[in-house]
A = this chain, B = another copy of it.
Amino acid sequence: MCELLAMSANVPTDICFSFSGLMQRGGNTGPHKDGWGITFYEGKGCRSFKDPLPSAQSPIATLVTQYPIKSEAVICHIRQANSGEVSLENTHPFIRQMWGKNWTYAHNGQLADVTKHLSLEAHIPIGQTDSEHAFCYLLDSLYFEFGKTEPSADVLFAFIAKQCERINQLGVFNITLTDGVHLFVYCANNLNWIQRRAPFGEASLLDAEMSVDFKQETTDHDIVSVIATRPLTGNETWHKIKPGQWIVFKQGEIVLQGQEQAHYHKPPVGSF
């Protein structure tokens, strides 16, 4: 499995604190040692740092914790390989272009038989992961549904959520997806989020001896939402996202959300 981290904010914000916690789980406090990657948006442009090395031992990851790149949308991933070898082409996040935008995506979970169930036309994977295959399928389905014109956000993300439900039938499909403005998350079974806004307090990482007093780092107008597979801090209240729930964040606020109905009817694992 892997771990996801993402951020949506209404002002360019650095993610050094959260990333400092997450990177420890990449080979130190956690087993996710098969690579890591992070994508920062600045306007419509984005830049990624990625490495097939464990994040806890990566000089590039250390640079990212020390060099505060400020961004309104960030997607990050640490990998524990289960599909596809440990290599750069299998390292998340994956970035592709559509409608004159960079779309960045990361996945936590496993999917069975993607090549059989998710046929591809226009978007061909580069690596061997189920994750990238599912991303290509999402983009293919968007391209064939909407063609050259991007639909409105409510139509777009409702459609993406429907595709996520479908893909999730093949296994576990927790994802983060952004175009730099909207941050979409779909929860199969394991995602948490927190929103930080005034009055800001202190926070302490679970995975490193590190605290931050957000009052010193922010203004009263700042709104920052952080989404993670597991909570990163111990003294704050994180919200667990329900299975089948999807949320779209924009500038740190929730702007769209929905809940897959089918999940209510799914029998719990082991029941009959």
Contact = CB atoms under 8 A, between A and B. Distances in A.
Interface string A41-75: 01111111111100000011001000100000000
Contact of A47 (B44, B48, B97): B48
A50 B47 contact: yes
Nearest to A50: B47
Given A63-B63, A97-B96, A88 B123 contact: no
Interface stretch (A99-107, A212-220, A235-243): A99-107
Given A59-B63, A63-B59, A90 B47 contact: no
A126 interface: yes
A31 interface: no
Contact of A123 (B52, B95, B97, B123): B97
B88 A101 contact: no
A83 interface: no
B50 A88 contact: no
Contact of A44 (B42, B127, B148): B127
A100 B122 CA distance: 10
Interface in A72-88: 87-88
Q: Is the interface of A mostly helix, strand, loop or mixed?
A: mixed
Contacts of A97: 96, 123-124, 126
**Which of A42, A43, A46, A48 is most buried by chain B, counting CB atoms within 10 A of its CB?**
A43
Interface of A: 42-52, 59-60, 63, 67, 87-91, 95-97, 99-102, 121-127, 148
A47 B43 CA distance: 20
A151 B46 CA distance: 31
A45 B124 contact: no
Contacts of A90: 45
B89 A45 contact: yes
6 cross-chain pairs, A with B, having the tightest CB-CB distances, nearest first: A45-B88, A45-B89, A100-B124, A42-B88, A44-B89, A44-B126
Nearest to A95: B95
Contacts of A96: 96-97
19 contacts: A42-B87, A42-B88, A43-B89, A45-B87, A45-B90, A46-B88, A47-B48, A47-B50, A47-B88, A60-B63, A60-B67, A95-B95, A97-B124, A97-B126, A99-B124, A100-B124, A100-B126, A101-B126, A102-B126
Nearest to A40: B88
A46 B95 CA distance: 12
Nearest to A41: B88
